Structure 1
Amino acid sequence: MSPSHPHTGGRAARGGLRRLGEWCARHFVIVIVAWLVALVALQALNRSFGGEYSDDFALSGVQSQEGLDVLKKHDPQAGGYSSQIVLHDDQPLTGLGSQMATATGDLQKLPHVLSAQNPLTAPGSSSQQSQSQQSQQSAPQKNVGPLSSDGKTAYITVRFDVQPSTLGDGYLPGVDNAVEPLRKAGAQVEYGGPLGELARPAADDRVSELIGFGVAIVVLLIGFGSVLAAVMPLVTALVAVIGGLALLGLLAAAFTFATVSPTLATMIGLGVGIDYALFLITRHRQNLMNGADPVRAAGHATATSGRAVLVSGCTVIVALTGLYASGVTFIGKLGLAAAVTVVSAVVGALTLVPALLGLLGRRIDRFTVRRPVAETEEGADVPQGTWHRYAKRVEHRPWQFLAAGVTTVVVLAIPLLSIQLGHIGDGADPTSFTDRRAYDLMTDAFGPGSNGPLTIVVDQSGVPSSQRSDLASQAQKTLNSVPGASTVTPLTPTKDGDVLLATVYSQHSPQDAATTDLTNRLVDHTLPQAVAGTDAHGYVTGTTAAQVDFRDIVASRLPLIIGVVVGLAFLIILAVFRGLLVALKAAVLNVLSIAASYGVVVAVFQWGWGGPALGVHGRVPIESYVPMMMFAIIFGLSMDYEIFLLSRVHENWMRTKDAKDSVAHALEITARVITCAALIMVSVFAAFIVSDNIVVKMLGLGLAVSVLIDATVVRLLMVPAVMTLLGRHAWWTPRWLDRIMPHIDAEGDHEGGPDGVSAPAPAERERAS
């Protein structure tokens, strides 16, 4: 039996996509009704069985979690998850003794509460502060106990057996009822930490979506002239995202997804959904302008641009699921959440779009605001429009254009050299948030470090009783001398005497780099020295310590994520276009554009260049997982334009074997589509900057800037210049590598026109040339 032709599978896939597109266009009623039924069913199932989104996750194997486990074992009431209820009054709170006792008593009766500390009856902090100041010989410090030195500010520490932010909105009325006596007495009551996060208003992305949609309509009307052609990508993308979010809600019933997951999935789903629909509609309308039958035109668009959508979608999904290489389930699930709406966007583009094209038929350009245009400039069979002339200028001076592009991205990437990863604290939130008001009250009364105390846990269960006194003295002396701490409370044994507890307060806010340094100093140097020569083990735990551990893990695994995503995308581009240098070029240029977008995010948020204008209070670190998420998303999305442009370059190259003219030809017929698609995606992402969630702001700005850079500097300057310099060598691949790689056709190189007549295969065209 003779071996099958290497393109046989590709032809079958092409024929399948053509048949799918034609069937959907011909039976548009069935397809549209099926989509509507699926949406209704998914929404009903999600309302009945869908899960909640939660930021409840733990890192196994890190020292902060080990310390928490030790604490839970030896003193359950001191373990668990803590949150503060901050109180303030113009008069000393000592006059509210009965109300305070009632409030703390009612709080202790709530479900999942382990303990609630009354700040008026808790041990005072003045003696502790005095001891710490004398041992450290530091400047006078603010009181860090539960009651401020002037008695006007206090905080109730409530400990839960679960993360409070996972309890749902229905839990808050019980807390409100418990503290109502204090509010009636005139005290200001604010919720800090996880309780404050639970009390935040539910995220509403409708404003962002409306802004993005409005800009998208304007861009499409100006770019293509047809009202129906402008509305269709928005409708199909919205339908696909609604279905994807409902499916994500059902998955949330079985798996824990972060609260930012639906917003992230909406951002990505809308962006790629509009792009994918736009690619198909543009090709379809050009087929109609060329005189094709609407059904055959839709089938041809699905078999050509639809295949590019399929390859691009797979690339995005691979990049997003590659986040699991971080080894952090929280981050991997963020990628999975975004991948759900990408899948729905691809399915919508390949089925719903052809169905709507069949429904409209030749009426797609009935309502216009200008003369309808599609892929090419007006004019002759040989493209000689604006973009073709521009490409010819690049062809004559490739080094100058390449130097301009590289200089631009390098300058934008400079701030990346000073990036500070960390956790964005409550102090950066709007003052309309109760946790922000609690943060400010704590800072004013107790110092910035009070918002992120570090709990010291010394496990001395393996130390003989006769040596424990010396250990406590040695550990206390070592802790008191740690640089960067404003106050260290005395080490206190648990009830069983096996664990020593103390609290270290930083001189700086929890999100400050100095607090991160203090935490790492305690873990790496101070505690090992404090328990040296004994069988004791020291840990730093608490929310701030866990955030530092998370940051360190993410920072250490970011290079792995970059390597995995770049490697997978490189292999996909190589398999699609059979060009080793083309795939290498795509990987390198995309990394450069991502570095530039990182630089812009650092300048805006960390350096404060425009942060206040975006609603960010002060300078904030870059949320530790944002660079990892941005890399996977941006790298995947940039492949949309890469594949769409290169597929046309490759198509013309296989037909003419003129490498330089192929670049000009591809720019001519794709520049308008890529430019409009990029402007739409930029508007969709940038619209999320109005969100109150700073992480969403950060992602929205970073993704918008990256797409803008990718569609302008990379696609218009660097790609044409590099492709011109590489010439025919861009498509070179060693024969042994070509034999072992799968054959993937991105844009239907072998696909005939809308009339269904197949064109010669590349090998045949090459022999003919």
Structure 2
Amino acid sequence: MSPATTAPTRPQTPAAEAARPGILGRIADVTYRRRGRTVLAWVAVLLIAVGLSAAFGGDFKADYSAPGSDSSEAQDLLESRFPSQSGDTVDIVVKADGGFTDPATQADVRALLDKLGNVDHVASVEDPFQTPGAVSPDGTTLVATARLDVTNPVDMPVPDSEKMITIAEDADHAGFDVALGGQSITQGEAAEIGSEMLGLIAAAIILLLMFGSVVAAGLPLMVAIAGLAVSSTLTGVLIALIAAPDWSTSLATMMGIGIGVDYTLLMVTRFREWRAAGLDPHRATVATLDTAGRSVLVAGTTVVISMLGLFAMGLSFMRGAALVTILAVLVVMAASVTLFPALLGYLGKHVDRWRLPLGKRAETVVAVGGHVEPSRGWMAWSKLIDRHSWIAALAGVAALLALASPYLGVRYGFPDAGNNAEHTQTRRAYDMLAEGFGPGMNGPLLVVAELPGDDPAAAQPIADAIGATDGVAQVAPPTVNQAGDTAVITVFPTTGPQDPATEDLVQQLRDTTLPDAVSGTGIEAHVGGVTAISIDSTENIAKRIPLLIGGVVLLSMLLLLISFRSIAVALKAAAMNLLSVAAAYGVVALVLQGGWAGHLVGIDTETPLPAFVPVLMFAVLFGLSMDYEVFLVSRMREAWLRTRDNERAVLEGLASTGRVITAAAAIMVAVFAAFIPSHDVVLKVIGVGMASAIFIDATLVRLLLVPAVMHLLGRSNWWLPAWLDRRLPQLHIEGHPEMYLPRPDAPAQPAAEPQPAT
């Protein structure tokens, strides 16, 4: 007969009998007993969220410009006074081997333009045969601009973009090459693989391998999916109130899947331990939430704190992405502490049902005092780290610094179509334009001038001055709006949009050329366009990064200090997490070099790193790294409070959580790696960075460096000045496991797996 059917379900010591479960334990007790009502409540919340989203849902929108910058002022002028110039555009690039003097070739071009002009949301298509400079100097390449009636590329329906791509592909024939460029076309080509589904499938496989049971593996997935169903639906309401980029849903979904599965994975593991220790399903559920549940709340709070750090950047799209992600995290946390115990009410006694034939499962051993002994393999690894602490610590730091080193040569900027895959429409259009007109054709600057006195001719001297500036290949004639008070001058540099010389040209135009040209005229001129916005945004983000890092690190250290009552743990966690993030940055920089590492993930050219990506990575990764820190150190502290033996505490903590951290990290790596097949270079880079960071953090840091350093620090790990200890609130992150343990004098015994109820 199994211990689950014979062990007492009430505390066995006077101290335990006098104690009561914490608030999470009481929540677990209520939701377990009223599991039907709890499940129905979640269904009701989902239905309400669907109704709210249908009635009040908004659309995604994002402003990537730097507030108050010169390019931002130029864009504001375009949108308010020159809406025809502020809409999104598509470049139609045609290369004809025999040139465009042949009437038959001209007829093919006009037929192509007519078909494209009839696509929905295409407002107009210019005639390249009537537009100065639309044919390359050698006469073999032609470019025409299609203006859309949408300002933001995300507002262009993907089916319409796909229709334009199909028309271009059908027109392509021998000696007549057609390619389309523009962000709307990029969206049309990015028929993404279902990244979220890939992540869920990977998580399911890893959970099955870890638990060997369909029921145990299914519990984390059910909680994560339920939380995401609610949060993703409520996102529609949230974006009606704040501006958020469309990619924020992918980030929030991946975070929701990852932490939802990880947190529930931790609690399922602890639940099974309590069952092996002899508790019935009800009592084991309460014990799980009263111990592991506390770690989940602290871990989730660190993620929220990290995402709130994005507010320090002062960028609306960062705030929007942070809020969408925080919503997902909070809802999944709520599901973990309410829906999970309710599901255990139905499935707890069947947690090991539907076992898979994955070999013999190791026994769970209940030691004297009732705590569950770690597996022999993890205990052996932990002892190995103990014996070679100095070597492990030095090797871990050296490996992290080596991985971080490529970041020293990183180049900031925004990837463009030249970094897309070679077979894509946008990359082909980029290369054809660069070959026919020069690299600057792919990154034109827009000089927007406010004209006083409605004098359209006042813009021409400005264009002349710009044309005489070094680094300018061509200047289009000024275009004046109907009111005659604003002019747009298109400037084509001699260098490409990612070339440092182009940035120098932008600064020269702003600092010298334009001030001299408008001096005494009352004209105000601003340099804008995609290239200028990229330059300004990068500079704006770079100067705010210290605010993000400082704020997130300090708040996270404070939370750990309160949770673990240890100065050393808080300082060590901050240092280790910074090393882990730096190593991930190095991996990203290596991939962006476009060499052998880049080719592994589909990056075949040297690619700049958007400045907001390391900012976003830092916020996400620092929070997730703290998750693993909390999982690991909470079990160490639990053992420390029980034994007051640092060596034993570190050994038990690592051995008890090693398997959980490894599985949790494997799930997160798989979830974020699902970004890598994306056609979007930015999403691809985020996937590489996140997946590599989690892998590095869970292996080099949590399973090697952290235990090594904690062995070296000894009892200092748990030191806190008495005056500070009295002033800090008590979280008791480890809970009160002694409340639920069997009698200390019970003999150690192997505990059979809980038998399913019949």
TM-score range, shorter chain: 0.7 to 0.9
- Ranges in structure 2 where 5+ consecutive residues have no aligned partner: 1-17, 745-758
Within-5 A mapping of 1:86-235: 86-89=93-96, 92-93=99-100, 95=103, 116-122=125-131, 124-125=132-133, 145=134, 149-158=138-147, 160=149, 162-169=151-158, 190-205=179-194, 208-235=195-222
Q: Which stretch has the larger CA shift, 687-696 or 572-581?
A: 687-696
In structure 2, the partner of 1:268 is 255
In structure 2, the partner of 1:679 is 666
- Structure 1 residue 303 displacement after superposition: 1.2
In structure 1, the partner of 2:33 is 26
In the alignment, residue 541 of structure 1 is paired with which amino acid? G
Q: Which stretch has the larger CA shift, 78-87 or 637-646?
A: 78-87
Q: Distance in 1 between matches of 2:174 and 2:367?
A: 76
Do the aligned partners of 2:463 and 2:489 also contact (CA within 8 Å) in 1?
Answer: no
Do the aligned partners of 2:364 and 2:373 also contact (CA within 8 Å) in 1?
Answer: no
Paired residue for 1:360, among 340, 344, 347? 347
- Structure 1 residue 412 displacement after superposition: 0.2
**Partner SS for 1:623:** coil
For residues 659 and 462 of structure 1, do their structure 2 counterparts lie closer, same or farther at Cα, with a shift above 3 Å needed?
farther
Say whether 1:730 aligns with 2:739: no
- Structure 1 residue 728 displacement after superposition: 2.1
For residues 378 and 654 of structure 1, do their structure 2 counterparts lie closer, same or farther at Cα, with a shift above 3 Å needed?
closer
Q: Distance in 2 between matches of 1:90 and 1:196?
A: 25
In structure 1, the partner of 2:243 is 256
Say whether 1:447 aligns with 2:438: yes
Q: Distance in 2 between matches of 1:586 and 1:258?
A: 32
Say whether 1:425 aligns with 2:416: yes
- Structure 1 residue 237 displacement after superposition: 1.7
For residues 39 and 204 of structure 1, do their structure 2 counterparts lie closer, same or farther at Cα, with a shift above 3 Å needed?
farther
In structure 1, the partner of 2:67 is 60
In structure 2, the partner of 1:311 is 298
- Structure 1 residue 400 displacement after superposition: 1.7
In structure 2, the partner of 1:323 is 310
In structure 1, the partner of 2:469 is 481
For residues 373 and 218 of structure 1, do their structure 2 counterparts lie closer, same or farther at Cα, with a shift above 3 Å needed?
farther
Offset from partner CA, 1:2-37 (integer Å, 9 cap, x none): xxxxxxxxx999532112212333333333344345
In structure 2, the partner of 1:718 is 705
For residues 373 and 27 of structure 1, do their structure 2 counterparts lie closer, same or farther at Cα, with a shift above 3 Å needed?
farther
Q: Distance in 2 between matches of 1:583 and 1:413?
A: 23
**Partner SS for 1:744:** coil
Do the aligned partners of 1:84 and 1:156 also contact (CA within 8 Å) in 2?
Answer: yes
Q: Distance in 1 between matches of 2:622 and 2:564?
A: 18
- Ranges in structure 1 where 5+ consecutive residues have no aligned partner: 1-10, 126-144, 758-769
Paired residue for 1:741, among 720, 728, 731? 728
Q: Distance in 1 between matches of 2:236 and 2:486?
A: 42
Scaled by the length of structure 1, the TM-score of the pair is: 0.84
- Structure 1 residue 685 displacement after superposition: 1.4
Q: Distance in 1 between matches of 2:634 and 2:569?
A: 11
For residues 177 and 535 of structure 1, do their structure 2 counterparts lie closer, same or farther at Cα, with a shift above 3 Å needed?
same
Q: Distance in 2 between matches of 1:384 and 1:102?
A: 72
In percent, how many aligned pairs have the same letter?
A: 37
Q: Distance in 2 between matches of 1:203 and 1:47?
A: 25
For residues 756 and 706 of structure 1, do their structure 2 counterparts lie closer, same or farther at Cα, with a shift above 3 Å needed?
farther
Q: How many equivalent pairs are there?
A: 721
In structure 1, the partner of 2:626 is 639
Say whether 1:456 aligns with 2:447: yes
For residues 289 and 69 of structure 1, do their structure 2 counterparts lie closer, same or farther at Cα, with a shift above 3 Å needed?
closer
For residues 209 and 502 of structure 1, do their structure 2 counterparts lie closer, same or farther at Cα, with a shift above 3 Å needed?
closer
Q: Distance in 2 between matches of 1:673 and 1:177?
A: 49
Q: Which stretch has the larger CA shift, 661-670 or 281-290?
A: 661-670
Q: Which has the higher contact order (CA 8 A, sep 6+)?
A: 2
Q: Distance in 2 between matches of 1:434 and 1:681?
A: 33
In the alignment, residue 307 of structure 1 is paired with which amino acid? R
In structure 1, the partner of 2:641 is 654
- Structure 1 residue 739 displacement after superposition: 3.6
Q: Distance in 2 between matches of 1:438 and 1:557?
A: 35
In structure 1, the partner of 2:394 is 403
Say whether 1:753 aligns with 2:740: yes
Q: Which stretch has the larger CA shift, 645-654 or 624-633?
A: 645-654
Offset from partner CA, 1:191-237 (integer Å, 9 cap, x none): 422332453455442xx344434443443344333332123222322
- Structure 1 residue 161 displacement after superposition: 6.8
What is the aligned-residue RMSD (CA, Å)?
3.8
Do the aligned partners of 1:428 and 1:436 also contact (CA within 8 Å) in 2?
Answer: yes
Q: Distance in 2 between matches of 1:516 and 1:238?
A: 46
**Partner SS for 1:610:** helix
Q: Distance in 2 between matches of 1:382 and 1:117?
A: 75
For residues 72 and 687 of structure 1, do their structure 2 counterparts lie closer, same or farther at Cα, with a shift above 3 Å needed?
closer
Say whether 1:16 aligns with 2:23: yes
Say whether 1:692 aligns with 2:701: no
Do the aligned partners of 2:199 and 2:671 also contact (CA within 8 Å) in 1?
Answer: yes
- Structure 1 residue 392 displacement after superposition: 3.1
Offset from partner CA, 1:540-563 (integer Å, 9 cap, x none): 111221122111111111121111
